[in-house]
């Protein structure tokens, strides 16, 4: 792989400092790829950083490698903060990939686990919500002394702490201020605005803030990368995982049936953006999207392939589940698992994934995209079906990367179900600008150029824009003051997930 790409296109002076950092593997049970070793050493050499590798490149194992190195140097206590949905995964990974003890500080016995961690040492793994209840360290000192800060604080899915007013952000800030070494992990540190990235750097290296201002975006991605290099490292799958099987992406365009079209027109007239996105499933018996999904699942069953189906909406997944149950009866030996949603406890999510993985032959796993698209390893699946396009392109990227990642041995097919002349088409058109922005500033790109409205468009603004465009196109009139509505069929989303 390209050495420059594997080192995140860092300036030479930063790269040289990282190369000079040794990495002790005494407490590590796995070997690392070259770019992973570089990432762990970057975290150690720079002390307070964001590791922003694309999904599927092993940010977790790079963090564990850094913890294992510090343990070999004599540090005894470490803390990992993560969403509840991945707490079990973190606990498993620490035990599998290192000799360190992991203590899940969560649930009814969290205080006992915290006390045991303080007394015995190891890695405490807790959630953003529980972190607020733990006593903030007093200040520097030996980690074994009660009240002293851990040798390293790891914050997973760190983009959840971009809002400075959120309680979880304040809790993370309090711990970050008292820890010498801090590692933020996130594959999407700046989804819409460079300002959001600044909020992460503010926790780690406030001295860099003057160099990272809004004009950095206008100056181009290379200027931005230079400004944040001391605290930011990102690599992409296409640059460093050349041995991954192929990723085949197919847009499955359909047309509304009569009942779906009527439901769509009603949603447009009411200005209900979320109902517009779900209208293609209004008539399950004649839904073109649902029929195509059944065909794809049947084809996968015929080829003995596992399938994961993602949707933003719980009611869409319920419709899919009912449709696939009948297909399951028609296809002896097939299995249907889920749905995984934000209301499913983390332990149950992992059990569903394990059962799906261990099932012989064909199986289908249903996932709400904000719950199943983060933290779960789904390499058993080689067919991914997206029931609708997402408002945030990064949600789709993360979901696909759950299957197309290290450990995958088959080419991965991604089928995105779309309806022409609908919200789907308008959404894809507008999101091309958002994807260009992400490519320019979170990936290396000499050609992508960001426009002001690509930087500033909010999810709410995007919804209103699409509703207005569709109302004009269909020559309908919205009710006075109509606003895009929150969807009753979806979980509160990543914000609530992080709090859990």
Query: Burial level of 164, CB count in 10 A (0-12/13-18/19+)?
Result: exposed
The predicted pLDDT at position 296 comes to: 87
Instruction: Specify the pLDDT at position 380.
Output: 80
Q: Where, residue-wise, is CATH 3.40.50.10810 in the chain?
A: 3-240
Sign of CA dihedral 96, 120, 168, 489: positive
Q: In what order do the strands lie in the sheet with 232-233?
A: 102-105, 122-127, 77-82, 153-155, 182-185, 48-51, 232-233
pLDDT reading at 464 higher than 70: yes
Class of domain 247-499: alpha beta
pTM, two decimals, is 0.64
Q: In the structure encoding, which two tokens stand for residue 67, read together?
A: 């913890």
**pLDDT, mean of residues 32-49:** 95
Classified as helix, coil or strand, 76 is coil
Q: How far is Cα 264 from Cα 275, in angstroms, rounded to an integer? A: 7
Distance from first CA to last CA of the chain, Å, rounded?
39
CA dihedral 464, 467, 469, 474 (to 10 degrees): -160
The residue-averaged pLDDT of 274-301 equals: 90
Q: Using the structure block, give the residue that is written with the tokens 């975006």.
A: 217
For 271-422, where are the alpha helices, taking DSSP H only?
Answer: 273-278, 288-302, 314-330, 346-358, 369-372, 393-403
The string of pLDDT tens digits covering residues 415-462 is: 899 888 899 988 888 777 666 655 555 544 333 333 333 333 456 778
**pLDDT value of residue 292:** 86
Instruction: Identify the CATH assignment for 3-240 out of 3.40.50.10810, 3.30.750.24, 3.40.50.800, 3.40.50.2300.
Output: 3.40.50.10810
Length of the chain counted residue by residue: 500
Where in the sequence of the chain do the CATH 3.40.50.300 domains occur? 247-499
Structure token digits, residue 25: 């593997």
What would the pLDDT profile of 229-249 be if each residue is shown by its tens digit?
899 998 877 777 766 667 778
What is the number of helices (H) and of strands (E) in the chain?
Answer: 23, 13
Joined together, the tokens standing for residue 147 give 């009240």
Distance, in Å, from the CA atom of 368 to the CA atom of 373, rounded to the nearest integer, reads 8
237-241 contacts at long range (C-beta below 8 A, 24 or more positions apart): 237/54, 237/56, 237/57, 237/401, 237/404, 239/1, 239/2, 239/5, 239/6, 239/444, 240/1, 240/2, 240/5, 240/6, 240/33, 240/35, 240/57, 241/1, 241/56, 241/57, 241/406
- C-alpha distance from residue 242 to each of 190, 380, 413, 440 (Å): 25, 20, 17, 21
pLDDT of residue 30: 92
Which residues make Cβ contacts (< 8 Å) with residue 497, sequence separation at least 6? 83, 84, 85, 342, 370, 371, 374, 491
Q: Is the pLDDT of residue 144 over 50?
A: no
Q: What does the pLDDT read at residue 393?
A: 77
DSSP assigned state of 28: B
- Containing H/E element for 253? strand 247-254
pLDDT score at 434: 62
pLDDT computed for residue 103 by the predictor: 95
Element (H, E) at 419: strand 412-419
Q: Is the pLDDT of residue 377 over 90?
A: no
Which helix (H) or strand (E) segment is 311 a member of? strand 306-311
* DSSP one-letter string for 449-498: ---HHHHH--HHHHHHHHHHHHHHHTT--PPTT--PPPPTTS---HHHHH
Cis peptide before 339 (omega within 30 of 0): yes
- Backbone torsion region of residue 125, taken as left when φ is above 0, otherwise alpha when ψ lies between -120 and 50, otherwise beta: beta
The mean pLDDT value for 113-131 works out to 94
Given a contact cutoff of 8 angstroms between Cβ atoms, the answer to whether 371 and 491 are in contact is: yes
């Amino acid at each position: 792989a390209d050495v420059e790409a594997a080192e995140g296109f860092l300036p030479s002076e930063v790269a040289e400092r990282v190369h000079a950092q040794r990495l002790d593997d005494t407490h590590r049970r796995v070997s690392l790829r070259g770019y992973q070793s570089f990432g762990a050493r970057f975290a150690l050499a720079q002390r307070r950083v964001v590791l922003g590798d694309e999904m599927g490149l092993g940010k977790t194992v790079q963090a564990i490698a850094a913890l294992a190195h510090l343990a070999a140097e004599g540090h005894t206590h470490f803390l990992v903060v993560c969403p509840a949905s991945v707490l079990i995964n973190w606990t498993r990974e620490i035990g599998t990939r290192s000799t360190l003890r992991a203590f899940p500080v969560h649930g009814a016995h969290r205080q006992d686990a915290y006390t045991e961690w303080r007394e015995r040492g190891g890695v405490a793994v807790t959630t953003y919500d529980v972190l607020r209840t733990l006593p903030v360290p007093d200040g520097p000192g030996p980690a074994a002394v009660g009240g002293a800060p851990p040798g390293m604080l790891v914050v997973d899915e760190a983009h959840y702490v971009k809002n400075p007013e959120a309680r979880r952000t304040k809790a993370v800030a309090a711990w970050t201020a008292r820890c010498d070494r801090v590692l933020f992990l996130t594959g999407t540190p700046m989804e819409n605005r460079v300002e959001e990235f600044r909020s992460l750097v503010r926790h780690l290296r406030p001295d860099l803030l003057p160099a990272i201002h809004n004009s950095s975006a206008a100056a181009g991605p290379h200027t931005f990368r230079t400004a944040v290099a001391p605290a930011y490292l990102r690599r992409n799958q296409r640059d460093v995982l050349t041995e991954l099987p192929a990723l085949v992406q197919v847009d499955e365009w359909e047309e509304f049936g009569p009942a779906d079209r009527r439901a769509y027109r009603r949603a447009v007239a009411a200005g209900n953006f979320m109902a517009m996105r779900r209208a293609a499933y209004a008539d399950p018996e004649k839904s073109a999207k649902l029929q195509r999904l059944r065909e794809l699942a049947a084809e996968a069953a015929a080829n003995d392939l596992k399938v994961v189906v993602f949707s933003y909406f719980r009611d869409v997944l319920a419709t899919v589940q009912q449709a696939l149950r009948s297909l399951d009866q028609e296809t002896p030996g097939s299995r249907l698992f889920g749905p995984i949603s934000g209301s499913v406890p983390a332990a149950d999510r992992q059990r569903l994934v394990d059962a799906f993985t261990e099932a012989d032959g064909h199986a289908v796993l249903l996932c709400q995209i904000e719950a199943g698209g983060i933290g779960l390893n789904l390499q058993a699946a080689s067919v991914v079906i997206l029931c609708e396009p997402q408002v945030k392109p990064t949600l789709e990227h993360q979901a696909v990367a759950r299957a197309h990642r290290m450990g995958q041995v088959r080419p991965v097919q991604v089928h995105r179900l779309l309806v022409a002349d609908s919200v789907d088409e308008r959404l894809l058109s507008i999101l091309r600008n958002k994807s260009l922005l992400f490519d320019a500033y979170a990936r290396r790109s000499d050609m992508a150029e960001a426009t002001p409205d690509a930087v500033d468009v909010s999810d709410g603004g995007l919804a209103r824009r699409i509703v207005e465009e569709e109302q004009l196109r269909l020559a309908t009139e919205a009710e006075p003051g109509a606003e895009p509505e929150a969807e009753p069929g979806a979980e509160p989303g990543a914000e609530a997930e992080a709090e859990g």
